[in-house]
Structure 1
């Protein structure tokens, strides 16, 4: 059984909590950790954090202007916006992120998708650094439910369709087909395309999920 959908206010409260947790995790990061590769494409840890600050600082109309200015090149759009939020040093970048901890600014889409933006990128940062902090099961469940229903910021539905996803630490489950089971956060991250999390999952559907992510 899935959890009851939360109100937008509750989801934004979860978002603030997850941002604060990430900021606290990075408070003592070393220069080499800030420069390390995240799980998010070619972005470093510091660049990924700057992206999160940008996402919490741009509303729908400015976002649209930025995308149009980049001629729908979303990589260019994201690079320009994260560059705005990079400080002269990692401490300044972190301070800019702390300034948006309670932001409810976003573009279009359900609040759960923007919670997903925070906790997926938080894990993109934490996993390579060996930081073991996990988002709450409540937060991960909210995002997993969103990802299993549609493709939006990530191809969650495409990656999970035809599989039965079952959390072993919470109420999340979705779909029919070969079973994939494991922690809610690992299911969420796999739907978001992070192959590193497949090692945390088990079941006959994992091989199919691996094939999809490799493609």
Structure 2
């Protein structure tokens, strides 16, 4: 029987593995791919990597200082910092991820499952449009799916699952009842986070989203209360 400590250890190990695997993918990218668009609206690969590594590089004091510069608007701060920090070389950006594989970070109000979700979703933001084969292991996907099908996440991303059933066709997972929307589990996860997927990734019903909220949260990897700092 698993204990709470075991669960925490499992998630911590999953986070470290996710970061190392993504760092491996990034280290093999040709230079041109670092300028390629991602599923994060307006961000190239380099901006997404800079954003993913921001929690490793920013102290609480620096985070609050950057937030103050953006008048308390986290989305504005995240965009400004990603564009600035993303000017680093690909080697530096990869090192920031690889060297912090075991960095212990909990998003404000989210805990370790949210930290894993943040890394997984943003990794897929990069690999999906580049058509890079990057299969997230089932055990990680189940943690992510449980996190993003909660009411807080659905509200955050403006997703309405009323009368919609989500069903993965690569793992034994489904959620909700109604018209069927199916596809790979990791593609369903991206859709639940408001991402616009390449054509043909999902089949069946459409998710109903609130455009204004969905667009505003398009770069987020996990629902957080950005006014808090852990």
TM range (shorter): 0.7 to 0.9
Q: Does 1:17 align with 2:17?
A: yes
- Alignment partner, residue 39 of structure 1: 39
SS in 2 for 1:39: coil
SS in 2 for 1:195: coil
Structure 1 CA distance, aligned partners of 2:29 and 2:19?
A: 16
Q: TM-score, normalised on structure 2?
A: 0.77
The count of aligned residue pairs is 207
Name structure 1 gaps, 5 residues minimum.
Answer: none
- Alignment partner, residue 136 of structure 2: 135
- Alignment partner, residue 171 of structure 1: 172
Report the aligned-residue RMSD.
Answer: 2.8
Contact preservation (8 Å) 1:37, 1:45: yes
Structure 2 CA distance, aligned partners of 1:92 and 1:191?
A: 31
Structure 1 CA distance, aligned partners of 2:162 and 2:52?
A: 28
- Cα 1:158–1:151 change in 2 (3 A) is farther
Superimposed CA distance per residue, residues 66-91 of structure 1 (whole angstroms, 9 cap, x where no aligned partner): 43442232232213443574464111
SS in 2 for 1:199: coil
Of residues 184, 187, 212, the one that matches 2:209 is 212
Contact preservation (8 Å) 1:141, 1:171: no
Structure 2 CA distance, aligned partners of 1:119 and 1:198?
A: 21
Structure 1 CA distance, aligned partners of 2:10 and 2:126?
A: 25
- Alignment partner, residue 184 of structure 1: 185
- Cα 1:112–1:154 change in 2 (3 A) is farther
The Cα shift of 1:161 comes to: 4.2
Superimposed CA distance per residue, residues 50-78 of structure 1 (whole angstroms, 9 cap, x where no aligned partner): 11111344566764554344223223221
Name the structure with the higher helix share.
1
